[in-house]
Structure 1
């Protein structure tokens, strides 16, 4: 069972541990019930919502640690729900669930800021694994620094000069890999392997966005990419 130490995403550490809270947002009643049962069996606290409006209202009182979010909801697009959730909780992990499986849709979902993208039909074990990853269960708590950049593995946050910078899930993964080996050149294949979905265009877009958002130098060469650490 994945335990967390905060009462809401982004809360300071030091609180008593509790089971992770998962919000399931899907208008397919049978699927939502199956996911709720499966995740509850893992020991997590689970709530579900059939549409975006209900999801936002539920999140306000439930303060989830991660969200499973259908991209196609009856009242609004999943990307809009994601935008509103992240406006309240910038570091909240979100996994998209969708029947759309084209490369373009996958890239659009990830670039909207989702931490992972799972197409229907899917295995329940895959969902549990994805949630453990975004909740940080597979990585130890860590703070990685490079110059005035700080990356927290635990709450998936990034700061530059002490100021929080909001990154999408793919952007965070690319930056994490670049900062893990300061000054080293990381191949495009290595960076791409850490991106959910594997769409080659996502890496280029992530690098461009990181340069713009962080104002950092990420040099490119035939052998890969390197983050300047000065």
Structure 2
């Protein structure tokens, strides 16, 4: 059974997440401070940490640095009310795997947790969905409602990266590292080209935009 450590100084948040994640089948530890989180992580090493950023004494980024020093491969999702693009980029560059902004829905956080844990175990879901768009990994098919969206192999790779981490802001470098071959050494502006092509194909009948540009930060898969 996988263990999740939830760290937040708001008991309402930790209680809600403990109930929801326990119901989903995880072992859940909760901490109300950075110091308590580090003690719990050493006593009961988690598979994943959901970590609030704004806490007194030791903030979430300080906790993140210490967790990373002890386990470089630990999955960490930052949970915070800081929604500025610079804050999100800073959190990711500090070592977080993902970033969820408060207020949040439990369903979105649950999806992020499952995606991170799958990747850490080398697993991949056969079917991914977001809104009315369904991506079949095995068949390399994409459906938007009842309409099949015909994509090239590379367009499919890029869209799959977005679907594996909905609501996560990703810059060009992150997308290149996940959707292109490791030996690709071309211009990173190719990402803009493929995002534009995906938008054209997903919005051909006036559908709402799902791949949004976050100025100065990158792109995100998000409902309108």
Q: TM-score scaled to structure 1, two decimals? A: 0.59
- Once the two structures are superposed, the pairs formed by residues 7-156 of structure 1 within 5 Å of their partners are 19-136=1-118, 153=122
Name structure 2 gaps, 5 residues minimum. Answer: 124-152, 192-224
Q: For residues 109 and 197 of structure 1, what CA distance do their matches in structure 2 show?
A: 15
Cα separation, partners in 2 of 1:80 and 1:41, compared to 1, 3 Å: same
Structure 1 moving runs of 4+ over 3 Å: 191-200, 221-224
Q: For residues 77 and 197 of structure 1, what CA distance do their matches in structure 2 show?
A: 23
Q: Does 1:190 align with 2:158?
A: yes
Contact 1:106 1:197 in 2 (8 A): no
Contact 2:5 2:30 in 1 (8 A): yes
User: Structure 1 residue 197: deviation in Å?
Assistant: 5.7
Cα separation, partners in 2 of 1:198 and 1:45, compared to 1, 3 Å: closer
Give the secondary structure class of the aligned counterpart of 1:220.
Answer: coil
How many aligned residue pairs are there? 155
Q: For residues 207 and 217 of structure 1, what CA distance do their matches in structure 2 show?
A: 14
Q: 2:172 aligns with which of 196, 203, 213?
A: 203
What CA RMSD, in Å, does the superposition of the two structures yield over aligned residues?
3.0
